[in-house]
Amino acid sequence: MTYRRGEPSRRPVPHSVGGMRVLVTGGAGFIGSAVVDTLSARGHEVVVLDVRPPGPDERRPWVVADVRDPAAVESALAGVDAVCHQAAKVGLGKDFADAPDYVSRNDLGTAVLLAAMASAGVRDLVLAGSMVVYGEGRYECGRHGVVRPGPRAEADLRAGRFEPGCPRCGDALGPGLVGEDAPTDPRNVYATTKLAQEHLASAWARATGGRAVSLRYHNVYGPGMPRDTPYAGVASFFRSALARGEAPRVFEDGRQRRDFVHVHDVAAANALALEAMGDRPSDACVAYNTGSGDPHTVGEMAHALAAAYGGPMPVVTGEYRLGDVRHITADPARLRAELGWRAEVGFEEGMTEFAKAELG
Ligand SMILES: NC(=O)c1ccc[n+]([C@@H]2O[C@H](COP(=O)([O-])OP(=O)(O)OC[C@H]3O[C@@H](n4cnc5c(N)ncnc54)[C@H](O)[C@@H]3O)[C@@H](O)[C@H]2O)c1
Ligand SMILES: [Zn+2]
């Protein structure tokens, strides 16, 4: 089965849910546009707010504005029941000079949005969270149990020692699935801004009696994924390389583990979270890992994409980026148990489709 942008998900629409009017910020983006399509297909009315203009065939209400513009946000909120906040500056960026723009767009932007929601009396928020808030994933040492390795030293990376060791004894560690209650440890500016968004949402919920959910997305991929830029995800780099006839260049030794989750599954998680808002307690922001629960290495992902594309096959380069974590894989049990969500697009199926999909 193949998926295209605009195609509704296979999930049945619950009959009990009346149509809501939802403001989707960042609704022109990779994930936001999939959320918009899924919400529309499930009978909700969608208002988009994005700095990018709508496509020529767009019929939904669309506010071309920056989320930091209080007047524009206020008008976009008219008659809205809930907000799905996807707008953000994403990726690792070029260098530290990007920091003010990340903080401004992601944190000032969220604060302006929440303040406008507080005045408009809009009480329900679903936030595009991220697994980057955890830093390194979960690790166990044979002697010391669950441990938290710090950032990897550049000297180790340069020498090809990619696996973090036990911070107490230096032994090799076994990676596991991270749960939502793991301590947060953002390792770069973007990660810091994503964590601050959650803290702002919690503060807003307490102050206003609002209800907030943060869906901590893992590595989202699928049709419409942005092309390679300093802000794109690894699947996009590989896909763009293949399109140029080049071999995907896999950093480190290719054994770093990630959870690749399809954009349609992420869009469905947003819809389920919005539809279940009425059942949750106010005054809190609750986090949910939004990952497939089926980890793969970056090398496996490159291999699956290249094979489905018809080559060239990936090369493992030993390059590294400071600030990248070694392994980060999700335990989506809470999302399954509380929202009845599960990933429907499997790794092989999704990568085979993505190898042929159009990029954004
Ligand atoms: N792609 C992933 O793997 C991933 C993983 C974890 C979290 N996320 C989060 O998901 C959300 C969506 O990411 P994406 O991958 O779709 O990125 P994207 O860049 O495709 O989409 C972001 C959208 O937000 C808009 N935008 C940015 N700043 C804005 C502003 N100040 N005002 C109004 N609109 C603005 C952009 O124009 C764009 O359309 C982000 O919050 C991101 O942090 C993404
Ligand atoms: Zn140890």
In angstroms and rounded to an integer, the radius of gyration of the C-alpha atoms of the chain is 20
Angle between helices 298-309 and 234-243 (to 10 degrees): 30
For residues 251 and 325, give the distance between their C-alpha atoms in angstroms, rounded to a whole number.
12
Q: What is the pLDDT of residue 11?
A: 52
3-state class (DSSP) for residue 162 = coil
Complete DSSP assignment for 45-73: EEEEEESSPPPTT--S-EEE--TT-HHHH
Q: What is the pLDDT, as a whole number, of residue 15?
A: 44
Per-residue confidence band for 2, with pLDDT thresholds at 50, 70 and 90? very low
Q: In whole angstroms, what is the distance from residue 36 CA to residue 43 CA?
A: 11
pLDDT of residue 278: 87
CB 16 within 8 A of CB 276: no
Per-chain mean pLDDT for the chain: 93
Residues 185-214 have a mean pLDDT of: 96
Pocket test for ligand 1, best of 30, 127, 231, 234 (most atoms within 8 A of CB): 30
Dist. CA 33–CA 292, nearest whole Å: 20
Q: Name the β-bridge partners of 259.
A: none
H or E element at residue 22? strand 21-25
pLDDT band of residue 12 (cuts 50, 70, 90) is low
CA-CA-CA-CA torsion for 222, 89, 314, 348, nearest 10 degrees? -20
pLDDT at 3 over 70: no
| 148 C-alpha to ligand 2 centroid (Å) | 10
Ligand 1 pocket check for 266: Cβ under 6 Å = no
Helical spans, DSSP H, in 223-359: 234-243, 263-275, 298-309, 333-339, 347-356
State residue 227's pLDDT score. 85
What is the reported pLDDT for 205? 97
Whole-number Å distance between alpha carbons of 35 and 56: 19
Confidence at 77, pLDDT banded by 50, 70, 90: very high
**From 139, 190, 221, 309, the catalytic residue:** 190
Ligand 1 centroid, distance to 28 Cα (angstroms) = 9
| Spatial contact of 116 and 70, defined as CB atoms under 8 Å apart | yes
Ligand number, closest to the Cα atom of 217: 1
User: Over the stretch 308-327, which tens digit does the pLDDT of each residue have?
Assistant: 999 999 999 999 998 889 99
Distance CA(302)–CA(84), nearest Å, equals 32
- Residue 235 CA to ligand 2 center (angstroms) comes to 33
Write the pLDDT tens digit of every residue in 220-251.
999 999 987 767 789 999 999 999 999 999 99
Partners of residue 176 on adjacent β-strands: 138
> How far, in Å, from the CA of 233 to the mean position of ligand 1?
12
Place of tokens 């959320």: 35
* 271-305 confidence digits (pLDDT tens): 999 999 988 878 889 999 999 999 999 999 999 99
Position 91 scores a pLDDT of 86
**Which residue among 35, 37, 50 is best mutated to probe the pocket of ligand 1, counting the most ligand atoms within 8 A of its Cβ?**
50
Q: How many CB atoms lie within 10 A of CB 189?
A: 21
Lowest-pLDDT range of 20-29, 153-162, 232-241: 232-241
pLDDT at res. 360: 83
User: What integer is the mean pLDDT of 66-80?
Assistant: 98
Cβ neighbour number for residue 227 with a 10 Å cutoff = 12
pTM of the entire structure?
0.94
pLDDT tens-digit map of 26-57: 999 999 999 999 999 999 999 999 999 999 99
Task: Specify the pLDDT at position 280.
Answer: 84
Q: Token pair of 214, please? A: 């943060």
Measured from the Cα of 109, ligand 1's closest atom is 31
